[in-house]
Amino acid sequence: MDKFLQFLIEEIVDDVSGIHIIKSDEVDAQVFHITLSKDDYGKVIGKSGKTINAIRTLLNVYSLKKDVSDHKKIVLKVEEAS
């Protein structure tokens, strides 16, 4: 799923080299910490969070299709690079 998330974000942003994704597994969730360049932050979030919600939905569908037995909540935390 990490590669799928990377692919989705790369297709949205201008600065591909500024993408950093760290995944952490918690008991009830898979948390993805996504760091982006300042200029690309708004593109990934989208107006009223619509883009990031669409990405989360796609990840949920991907997760259900690939591994139904271990489906967890997906949390996306997006931050601007400092």
pLDDT at 81: 86
pLDDT tops 90 at residue 69 = no
> Looking at domain 2-80, which CATH architecture does it have?
2-Layer Sandwich (3.30)
pLDDT at 1: 82
34-38 own/partner pairs: CB under 8 Å, 24+ apart? 34/5, 34/9, 34/76, 34/77, 34/78, 34/79, 35/78, 35/79, 35/80, 35/81, 36/9, 36/78, 36/79, 36/80, 36/81, 37/13, 37/80, 37/81, 38/80, 38/81
Average pLDDT on 52-68 reads 88
Give 34-54 pLDDT, tens digit per residue: 999 999 999 999 999 999 999
pLDDT at 11: 96
Average pLDDT on 52-65 reads 92
pTM over 0.85: yes
